[in-house]
Amino acid sequence: MRRRLLRAALTAAAFATVTAAVPPAAVPTPAVAASRPAAAPDWSTAVVDSTMARYTPATIGGWSYPVGLYLYGQYLTYERTHDPRYLAYVEDYVDRFVKSDGSIGQSFDSLDSMQAGRLLVILHHETGRDRYRKAAKKIRDRLNTYPRTSDGGFWHADNSSRAHQLWADGVYMVDPFLVEYGREFGDSGYADDEAAEQLYVYGSHLQVASGLLKHAYDESKSVSWADPRTGLAPEHWCRAIGWYSMAIVNVLDALPAGHPRRPQLLGILERLAAGLEKYQDPTTGRWFQVVDKGGRADNWTETSCSSMFTYALSRGARQGYLDRHFAAVARRGYEGVLARLSVGADGRTNLADISVGTNVGDYAYYVARTRATNDLHGLGAFLIMNEQLRGD
């Protein structure tokens, strides 16, 4: 019966225009609170309705982490609004890949391929259907044989081009899934320990004196971008750091108070937060594509990482992981991201200046990346951020 009700709601309204949900004029671009209307609309529902109007569950994309990130943000919006269309959309997307017997046609040979596994845990929690548990368990079981560095860090992917490499992106692809899987299926003993260990290993290699993280580390020191002495990538790419920042607060939320890795993870987060505060753009409140080189004329403020940092700093301050003054740093970031959001003549939202998917590279490579509008990396990060800060 519940499934039929969701389907009926989805059929009736899922792809309706959001003109009535948002004002007809574009959001002003200056990044100051006074430039926005006093009574701001519900930007989460506006973004979700706009995205659902642009894509069906069949056309939004394949099994991938950008879609998984976006749909996780949509689920957070569902949790608050209880709009059945939002959950039905997530379920229809996942059911493209998960058969009724729980089989899923994914090898899970990269961390990226695991991120959308969060949706499996969510749908099991919401529906109780065992097919989602079986599909999620395939990821959990894959970790038993997944390749690692000598100190236990999961390789970014199980192939020759990513062998021995830790990318800061990777912790978000697997760690939030792990702690949520553990809680849902009674496996927290393993899941919490593994997630905390991954964050510690990655942080011990990638974090430098400034508190920021390098994009990646190659244990073999053989790949072209790796420093021959340290194995580190040359730059601090913003979204890589953003993935890590969200992952660490998600895992801290799940860890027991007495977990042995907790003090070390709190130290990593505190140093990272200090670095982010230092390099926040004072003019816009956002952060640059290459975080520590905002003074260069060709660098630019990037929306997805700015949303991620804003979320992590706000969550960290609210949960007591960080000093309370970081809530003000997050508020400046929030205003800066909202300045990149507008509404088009069609009544749909547009979120600008989102870096497309990115490999490890040098400064010139990062700043030359396409600056997309409504890329799912940015939409997902925006929803996660907005659900954290919209009530503040």
Positions marked catalytic: 169
Give the residue among 240, 207, 276 at the shortest CA–CA distance from 357: 240
Determine the Cα–Cα distance for residues 81 and 362; give it in Å rounded to an integer. Answer: 42
Tokens of 10: 């989805």
Determine the Cα–Cα distance for residues 218 and 61; give it in Å rounded to an integer. Answer: 30
Give the residue among 107, 156, 118 at the shortest CA–CA distance from 359: 156
DSSP for 187-217 reads -HHHHHHHHHHHHHHHHHHHB-TTS-B-SEE
Q: Which runs of consecutive H residues, i.e. helices, occur in 186-325?
A: 188-206, 238-254, 262-279, 303-319
Supply the angle between the helices 188-206 and 262-279 in degrees, to the nearest 10: 40
Residue type, 365: Y
Determine the Cα–Cα distance for residues 218 and 222; give it in Å rounded to an integer. Answer: 7
Say which residue the tokens 């998984």 belong to.
Answer: 68
| β-pairing verdict for 287-288 and 301-302 | antiparallel
Contact 341, 27 (CB under 8 A): yes
Determine the Cα–Cα distance for residues 287 and 20; give it in Å rounded to an integer. Answer: 32
Determine the Cα–Cα distance for residues 144 and 250; give it in Å rounded to an integer. Answer: 22
Helix, coil or strand: residue 103? coil
Contact 342, 352 (CB under 8 A): yes
For the stretch 77-81, contacts whose Cβ atoms lie closer than 8 Å and that sit 24 or more positions apart, written own/partner, are: 77/44, 77/45, 77/48, 77/383, 77/387, 80/44, 80/387, 81/44, 81/45
